[in-house]
Protein backbone atom coordinates (compact mmCIF):
# COMPACT_ATOMS: atom_id res chain seq x y z
CA UNK A 1 0.00 0.00 0.00
CA UNK A 2 1.50 3.32 -1.08
CA UNK A 3 1.97 6.01 1.50
CA UNK A 4 -0.24 9.05 0.92
CA UNK A 5 2.03 12.12 0.83
CA UNK A 6 -0.73 14.46 -0.32
CA UNK A 7 -1.49 15.41 3.26
CA UNK A 8 1.84 17.25 3.51
CA UNK A 9 1.62 20.65 1.89
CA UNK A 10 4.97 21.08 0.22
CA UNK A 11 4.40 24.76 -0.53
CA UNK A 12 5.66 26.07 2.84
CA UNK A 13 8.58 28.36 2.03
CA UNK A 14 9.07 31.17 4.54
CA UNK A 15 11.92 33.57 3.74
CA UNK A 16 13.84 36.12 5.77
CA UNK A 17 14.08 38.93 3.23
CA UNK A 18 15.60 41.34 5.71
CA UNK A 19 18.63 39.05 6.10
CA UNK A 20 19.58 39.43 2.41
CA UNK A 21 19.51 43.19 2.86
CA UNK A 22 21.41 43.32 6.16
CA UNK A 23 24.04 40.60 5.55
CA UNK A 24 26.39 39.31 2.88
CA UNK A 25 26.17 35.50 2.81
CA UNK A 26 29.40 33.54 2.83
CA UNK A 27 28.13 29.97 3.12
CA UNK A 28 24.71 28.32 3.54
CA UNK A 29 23.62 25.12 5.29
CA UNK A 30 20.37 23.21 5.66
CA UNK A 31 19.62 22.15 9.24
CA UNK A 32 16.87 20.14 10.83
CA UNK A 33 14.88 21.49 13.78
CA UNK A 34 13.89 19.90 17.07
CA UNK A 35 10.20 20.83 17.33
CA UNK A 36 7.16 20.05 19.45
CA UNK A 37 3.92 18.75 17.95
CA UNK A 38 2.04 22.03 17.93
CA UNK A 39 5.03 23.86 16.43
CA UNK A 40 5.09 21.77 13.25
CA UNK A 41 1.35 22.27 12.89
CA UNK A 42 1.78 26.05 13.06
CA UNK A 43 4.65 25.87 10.56
CA UNK A 44 2.42 23.98 8.11
CA UNK A 45 -0.09 26.83 8.47
CA UNK A 46 2.72 29.29 7.62
CA UNK A 47 2.64 31.18 10.92
CA UNK A 48 6.38 31.78 11.34
CA UNK A 49 8.51 34.93 11.55
CA UNK A 50 12.28 34.62 10.99
CA UNK A 51 13.20 38.31 11.02
CA UNK A 52 14.43 38.53 14.63
CA UNK A 53 16.06 35.09 14.67
CA UNK A 54 19.74 34.41 15.17
CA UNK A 55 21.86 31.34 15.89
CA UNK A 56 24.37 30.75 18.66
CA UNK A 57 26.46 27.93 20.08
CA UNK A 58 25.81 26.44 23.52
CA UNK A 59 28.64 24.00 24.25
CA UNK A 60 28.89 21.94 21.05
CA UNK A 61 25.26 22.43 19.95
CA UNK A 62 23.72 25.08 17.70
CA UNK A 63 20.49 26.79 18.76
CA UNK A 64 18.21 29.36 17.16
CA UNK A 65 16.74 32.12 19.26
CA UNK A 66 14.14 34.75 18.39
CA UNK A 67 12.34 32.74 15.70
CA UNK A 68 8.64 33.28 16.33
CA UNK A 69 6.24 30.38 15.71
CA UNK A 70 2.68 31.39 16.58
CA UNK A 71 0.76 29.13 18.97
CA UNK A 72 -1.41 26.54 17.27
CA UNK A 73 -5.07 27.62 17.24
CA UNK A 74 -6.47 24.18 18.15
CA UNK A 75 -3.73 23.51 20.70
CA UNK A 76 -4.80 23.02 24.31
CA UNK A 77 -2.60 23.42 27.36
CA UNK A 78 0.05 21.41 25.46
CA UNK A 79 0.68 24.43 23.22
CA UNK A 80 4.26 25.67 22.84
CA UNK A 81 5.96 28.91 23.85
CA UNK A 82 6.18 31.00 20.67
CA UNK A 83 9.75 32.31 21.01
CA UNK A 84 11.52 29.43 22.74
CA UNK A 85 15.04 28.38 21.80
CA UNK A 86 15.15 25.48 19.33
CA UNK A 87 18.01 23.13 18.69
CA UNK A 88 19.35 22.87 15.14
CA UNK A 89 20.48 19.51 13.79
CA UNK A 90 23.69 19.47 11.73
CA UNK A 91 26.58 17.05 11.24
CA UNK A 92 29.51 17.31 13.66
CA UNK A 93 31.75 18.28 10.75
CA UNK A 94 29.45 21.16 9.77
CA UNK A 95 29.12 22.31 13.39
CA UNK A 96 32.90 22.36 13.83
CA UNK A 97 33.35 24.31 10.59
CA UNK A 98 30.69 26.86 11.62
CA UNK A 99 32.19 27.24 15.09
CA UNK A 100 35.68 28.01 13.75
CA UNK A 101 34.34 30.47 11.17
CA UNK A 102 32.11 32.17 13.74
CA UNK A 103 35.11 32.89 15.94
CA UNK A 104 36.37 35.18 13.18
CA UNK A 105 35.57 38.84 13.65
CA UNK A 106 32.22 40.08 12.35
CA UNK A 107 30.65 36.77 11.29
CA UNK A 108 27.27 35.52 12.48
CA UNK A 109 24.75 32.81 11.63
CA UNK A 110 21.30 33.95 10.48
CA UNK A 111 18.20 32.03 9.41
CA UNK A 112 17.41 32.54 5.73
CA UNK A 113 14.52 30.23 4.85
CA UNK A 114 12.21 27.73 6.54
CA UNK A 115 10.62 25.02 4.40
CA UNK A 116 8.86 21.67 4.70
CA UNK A 117 10.25 18.70 2.76
CA UNK A 118 8.20 16.16 0.81
CA UNK A 119 8.45 13.83 3.83
CA UNK A 120 6.85 16.49 6.03
CA UNK A 121 10.01 17.50 7.90
CA UNK A 122 10.71 21.14 8.70
CA UNK A 123 14.17 22.32 7.59
CA UNK A 124 15.86 25.64 8.22
CA UNK A 125 18.35 27.12 5.77
CA UNK A 126 20.96 29.07 7.72
CA UNK A 127 23.79 31.22 6.41
CA UNK A 128 27.17 32.19 7.73
CA UNK A 129 27.04 35.92 7.10
CA UNK A 130 28.95 39.15 7.45
CA UNK A 131 27.13 42.39 8.21
CA UNK A 132 26.92 44.93 5.40
CA UNK A 133 27.99 48.52 5.84
CA UNK A 134 25.66 51.39 4.91
CA UNK A 135 27.28 51.97 1.50
CA UNK A 136 26.93 48.24 0.68
CA UNK A 137 23.21 48.44 1.45
CA UNK A 138 22.89 51.42 -0.88
CA UNK A 139 24.65 49.46 -3.63
CA UNK A 140 22.19 46.57 -3.13
CA UNK A 141 19.26 48.94 -3.54
CA UNK A 142 20.78 50.42 -6.72
CA UNK A 143 21.33 46.96 -8.22
CA UNK A 144 17.76 45.92 -7.40
CA UNK A 145 16.37 49.10 -9.00
CA UNK A 146 18.52 48.58 -12.10
CA UNK A 147 17.25 44.99 -12.49
CA UNK A 148 13.68 46.19 -12.12
CA UNK A 149 14.17 48.83 -14.82
CA UNK A 150 15.76 46.29 -17.19
CA UNK A 151 12.83 43.90 -16.74
CA UNK A 152 10.38 46.73 -17.51
CA UNK A 153 12.25 47.64 -20.70
CA UNK A 154 12.23 44.01 -21.95
CA UNK A 155 8.46 43.76 -21.68
List the one residue out of 9, 15, 2 whose CA is nearest residue 112: 15
- H-assigned helices in 1-133: 17-22, 37-44, 92-102
What three-state secondary structure class fits 130? strand
pLDDT digit of tens for each residue in the chain (155 aa)?
A: 445 455 554 678 888 888 888 888 899 999 999 988 888 888 888 888 888 888 999 988 999 998 888 887 777 777 777 778 999 999 999 999 999 888 877 788 999 999 999 888 899 999 998 887 777 778 888 888 888 888 888 76
Say if pTM beats, i.e. exceeds, 0.95.
Answer: no
**pLDDT value at position 112?**
93
| Those residues with Cβ within 8 angstroms of residue 51's Cβ, 6 or more apart along the chain or in another chain | 16, 18, 19
**pLDDT value at position 124?**
93
Give the Cα separation of 122 and 67 in Å (integer). 14
Amino acid sequence: MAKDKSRFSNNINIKNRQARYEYEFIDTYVAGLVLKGTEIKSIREGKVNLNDGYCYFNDEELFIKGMHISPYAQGSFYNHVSTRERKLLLNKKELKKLRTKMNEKGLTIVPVRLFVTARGLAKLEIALAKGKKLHDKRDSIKEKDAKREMSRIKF
